A and B are shown apart, each in its own frame.
Chain A
Amino acid sequence: MTPPQRRRRHPKEQPPPEPLKQGPRKEPERLYVLTGSAEGRERAALDLVTLIVARADPPPSSTPERAALIRLCAAPLSVAELSAYLNLPFSVVTVLLTELLTAELVQARAPIVRQAIADRSLLEAVMHGLQKL
Chain B
Amino acid sequence: MDFKSSDTLPGPRTEDHLPQTAQAAVKIVIVGGFGVGKTTMVGSVSEIRPLTTEETMTQAGVGVDDDYGSETKTATTVAMDFGRISITEQLVLYLFGTPGQERFWFLWNGLFEGALGAVVLIDTRRLEVSFDVIGRLEESGVPFVIAVNSFPDGPRYPVEDLREALDLAPEIPIVECDARRRASSRDVLMTLMTFLHSLAMTGSLT
Contacts and interface: CB of A to CB of B under 8 A. Distances in A.
Chain B interface size, under 10 / 10 to 19 / 20 to 34 / 35 or more: 35 or more
**Interface SS of B by simple majority:** mixed
Given A88-B1, A111-B24, A123 B193 contact: yes
Interface in B81-116: 82, 84-88, 91-94, 96, 103, 106-111, 113-116
A43 to B, nearest CB: 9
Contacts of B115: 113-114
Q: Is the interface of A mostly helix, strand, loop or mixed?
A: loop
Contacts, number: 251
Nearest to A50: B25
A41 interface: no
Nearest to B143: A114
B107 to A, nearest CB: 7
Contacts of A26: 106
A133 B85 contact: yes
B174 to A, nearest CB: 12
Given A47-B110, A90-B108, A8 B182 contact: no
Given A8-B167, A11-B206, A116-B206, 18 more contacts: A8-B135, A19-B110, A26-B106, A29-B57, A30-B56, A68-B3, A68-B6, A75-B19, A81-B84, A84-B52, A85-B11, A87-B54, A88-B1, A90-B108, A122-B91, A125-B88, A126-B26, A133-B186
